[in-house]
Homo-oligomer: A and B are copies of this chain.
Amino acid sequence: MDRSLQGLAGAPEWRSLQSMLPDLRGARVLDLGCGFGWFSRWARERGAQSVLGFDVSENMLKRAIEMTTDDAVVYRRVDVEQIELPEAAFDLVFSSLVLHYVENLNRVFRSIHRALVPGGWFVFSTEHPIYTAPSHPEWLIQNGGCRTWPVDQYLAEGPRVTDWLTKEVIKQHRTIGTMVNSLLRSGFSLTHLEEWGPTEDQIAAHPEWAEHRDRPMFLLVSARKQV
């Protein structure tokens, strides 16, 4: 996994996600699903006042702590599903590729909204529902070698079991509409929504990313707590 080993530069969607972030100078940041802490450390380099990194994986947190020499970055073992956050304590909540594992998204969105200051930002990426929907999430190769992504059960929200890294990973498939409406109901204003695809430059450097133009894999969202 490039994104774990190489950090942010190994994540193809990072450039887009980065452009959706507010100015981090002086910001109090929560990194929800921090993994090895790549974003947490980057946020500090960009001037964040403090960063709290949450992850459920003890192994990842261990590695994150080893890689961090900065008292203003603090890691904690927390299951996103169970978060309890202080009120108006953060200027930015960031979450990369974690929310598609969460069952009760409404609860998490409400918790994040409450934890942000008015005008605070929530920027996240999640797997795109076109990617998570199919009962057989694998490219079909058609006559002539063209690839086709086999969409079905798009509106049947709920768990999807796939094999990924370890066996039997359960993801929660949700439509874009469900995610957006949950944000709006929680009191957020939507500020940007991107169905990420690689640029021409990126495809030249990584031809294997071209498939993401046929079928987006990531959904990037920024939202703001109304003032």
Contact = CB atoms under 8 A, between A and B. Distances in A.
A14 interface: no
A178 to B, nearest CB: 8
Contacts of A140: 140, 148, 150
B151 A177 contact: no
A190 interface: yes
Interface string A164-188: 0000000000011100110010000
Number of identical protomers: 2
A212 interface: yes
A13 interface: no
Interface stretch (A42-50, A59-67, A78-86, A193-201): A193-201
A19 to B, nearest CB: 12
- Chain A interface size, as a band, is 35 or more
Contacts of A136: 142, 148
A162 interface: no
A152 interface: yes
Interface stretch (A30-38, A101-109, A118-126, A213-221): A213-221
Nearest to A189: B189
Interface in A57-95: none
A4 interface: no
Given A177-B194, A193-B177, A151 B152 contact: no
Nearest to A214: B152
A184 B222 CA distance: 12
Top-9 shortest CB links A-B: A155-B197, A148-B150, A149-B151, A152-B214, A155-B213, A177-B195, A180-B193, A190-B190, A175-B195
5 contacts: A130-B154, A148-B150, A155-B216, A176-B193, A184-B191
